[in-house]
Amino acid sequence: MLFALLLVSALGCGLIGGVFFAFSSFVMGALARLPPAQGIAAMQSINIVVINPVFLLAFMGTAVGCGALAVLSLLAWTTPGGIYVLAGCALYLIGTILVTMACNVPLNDRLAAVNASSAEGAALWAHYVQRWTAWNHVRTAAALAASVAFMAALSLLAPAAAP
């Protein structure tokens, strides 16, 4: 059970890290090159479409898996790789979920409320692109580091599980 949950969580962290990597490495740069009204409208649309069952299952399902793993790692601290499991959980839950809720979502909410064609929108857009992308870099690094931590735990746990 632990091995399966750890594997699924490692894959979930890697998947979410890859999504965030795409935004950090080229999506936000492409949107920033557009006239502000077009960039705002595109990001407003992305922020609506991303709230769907497939993405939420990967994003929040991984968080639930990390929560379960955190409890299991604390209950079975002597399990091989336990420190890596706990580190991966902290990285994903704090560096990805908490940062999303505390930093990216408020920026998204402000962007959703602005008229894309207004002067206020253009001013907000310049700030939004810079701040949102910076926080997205944090989420990307945290999710990918969590995946690596879980893979390290898997490598230590697999030999212990062998007959």
Tokens 């090159």 found at: 33
pLDDT confidence of residue 157: 84
Confidence at residue 90, expressed as pLDDT on a 0 to 100 scale? 98
**Residues 143 and 92: beta-carbon distance below 8 Å:** yes
Looking at residue 2, the DSSP 8-state letter turns out to be: H
Q: What whole-number distance in Å separates Cα of residue 151 and Cα of residue 17? A: 14
Contacts of 11 (CB under 8 A, 6+ apart): 147
Structure confidence at residue 162 (pLDDT): 55
Task: Identify whether the C-beta of residue 136 lies closer than 8 Å to the C-beta of residue 24.
Answer: yes
Q: pLDDT digit of tens for each residue in the chain (163 aa)? A: 889 999 999 999 999 999 999 999 999 999 999 999 999 999 999 999 999 999 999 999 999 999 999 999 888 878 888 999 999 999 999 999 999 999 999 999 999 999 999 999 999 999 999 999 999 999 999 999 999 999 999 999 876 555 5
Q: How many domains does the chain have?
A: 1
**pLDDT for the residue numbered 116:** 95
Q: Which domain holds residue 141?
A: 2-161
Place of tokens 């893979």: 151
The contacts of residue 27 (CB under 8 Å, 6+ apart) are none
